[in-house]
Amino acid sequence: MSEAVIRTVTSPPDLLASLEPLLREWLPRQRWFAGKGRPVTGLSLVAAADLLPADSRLGLHHVLVRAHQQAAPAGAAAEGPGDCYQLLIGTREALPPRLAPALIGHVTGGPAAGRTAYDALYDTRPAEVLLEALRSGARIGGLRFERAPEQDIRAGLVPRLTTAEQSNSSVVYGDTFILKVLRRIVPGVNPDLELPLALAREGCPRVPAPAGWMVADLDGRTWVLGVLQPFLQGATDGWELALRELAKGEDFAAEARALGRATAEVHSALARALPTVTLGHAHARQLAGGMTARLEEAARAVPLLRPYAPALRTAFTALAGLAAEGRTWTAQRVHGDLHLGQCLRAPDGEWSLIDFEGEPARSLAERRLPQPAVRDVAGMLRSFDYAAHSAGVRGTGWTESCRAAYCTGYAQAGGRDPRTDPVLLRAYETDKAVYEVLYEARHRPDWLEVPLAAVRRLSVPEPA
């Protein structure tokens, strides 16, 4: 790695004050903003640094800002007094038409008075600055840009912002690398960097190895800000592929089987790379208790769920009952939010898993806990159901075919067939469906019928 570039430039202290009125309106409109439906009551600066001088033709400010809001709904992750967001704010005298979607607003005071502020990730030059910082191992204020020693990051790769992400933002550099910029950030070891690094050390080819990463060192803690990985050119995500095959009336079982094999290979590599634990009676009772509490919360919030709650609760009491009889389970690090959209199929047919951040609504501590591998399996099985609903083919046997093929492929690659532990699988599928009911009721009411159909099915346990 080339010698690190040391800089100590920080943004003027009154920068946030001049931007706050604009950000309070702009932040809640962003897809990645977690506090939807609750007004922003104030902003506080966590850290700021200039990546390009404020008085240049193009200013570039890296800002970590905490958004204060009214009380969060019950069950939301609590990381501290308001969520912290990472912003890359560009300032120009005038915004060219191509950057119109990035507009934050016109600054009327402070060091950027008279200029236009915008989301700089839409702009080529700021995106180039980030890649150059990663390539050179820069230090800018409290920011630290790291490069994996074995990676060669070429300069001059043309950046473009992708449009597919929901909870973060990604920039592709010339079909060679993709930089995932985390938006809602928390201090600590982020699994989106931790797990791919561990899998790379293990030599697992199913997950792209990190080429570089951005972190902030603040108050003695490290905050992961972004991860640079190889871009899988020509790859199609599993959701798009499934919908495409459904539209053509093609069977997806072979792909589901291959995806099951890929999942098992990742789980096996994670179990080798990181510690595993045994879940005994006390742990399983605590696990079942958490699932029961989430069910009760969802039933209070969604009246349509209430008639099924007693039957669904039996999925969790059955799990606790097995544990009381002496049954144990192995827990390990898992993906944590596995679904078709988190999987990429290369042109040669090989599948890769991406985005190891875990469910954004859960705290970082929860996301890093070892869990039975079947949790990921349950997430994928639910994803097949969503794809069938989206394509209008529910009830045709497509979902059942995919579920069976996926579990078969998982077992073929050395994983335990999830169907051989129906109590554990039902508990995790039920927990996932309950989560979906609450999410859809709050965010996408038109999709509520998808998890409700699963709730009706899961209310009647299959014969052992």
DSSP 143-178: EEEEE-TT----TTPPEEE-S--SSEEEEEETTTEE
Residue 392 pLDDT level (bands cut at 50, 70, 90): confident
The answer, yes or no, to whether residue 385 has pLDDT greater than 50, is yes
The Cα 403–Cα 411 span in angstroms is 13
Q: Which tokens in the block code for residue 137?
A: 């191992």
Work out the angle at residue 274's Cα, subtended by the Cα atoms of residues 271 and 278, and round it to the nearest 5 degrees. 65
The Cα 159–Cα 273 span in angstroms is 33
The answer, yes or no, to whether residue 437 has pLDDT greater than 60, is yes
The answer, yes or no, to whether residue 134 has pLDDT greater than 70, is yes
Report DSSP state, residue 70.
Answer: S
The Cα 282–Cα 150 span in angstroms is 44
What are the distances in angstroms from CA 284 to CA 270, 287, 329, 336, 379? 21, 5, 8, 18, 19
Cβ 384 vs Cβ 399: under 8 Å: yes
β-bridge pairing 6-7 and 139-140:
parallel
**Plot region of 310 (φ>0 → left; ψ -120 to 50 → alpha; else → beta):** alpha
Mean pLDDT, residues 153-178: 91
The Cα 106–Cα 102 span in angstroms is 12
Residue type, 325: E
Mean pLDDT, residues 25-44: 89
Please state the separation of Cα 142 from the chain's center in Å. 25
- pLDDT at residue 1, as a whole number: 34
What percentage of the chain's residues is helix, strand, coil (to nearest 5)?
45, 20, 35
Side-chain-side CA neighbours of 437 within 13 Å: the count stands at 28
Cβ 192 vs Cβ 356: under 8 Å: yes
pTM (2 d.p.): 0.90
- pLDDT at residue 36, as a whole number: 79
The answer, yes or no, to whether residue 224 has pLDDT greater than 60, is yes
Task: Return mean pLDDT, the chain.
Answer: 91
Mean pLDDT, residues 314-324: 96
What kind and span of H or E run contains 64? strand 59-69
Give the residue among 332, 334, 325 at the shortest CA–CA distance from 423. Answer: 325
Cβ 168 vs Cβ 179: under 8 Å: no
Q: What percent of the chain has pLDDT over 90?
A: 79
- pLDDT at residue 167, as a whole number: 86
- pLDDT at residue 72, as a whole number: 58
What kind and span of H or E run contains 61? strand 59-69
The Cα 35–Cα 182 span in angstroms is 16
- pLDDT at residue 165, as a whole number: 62
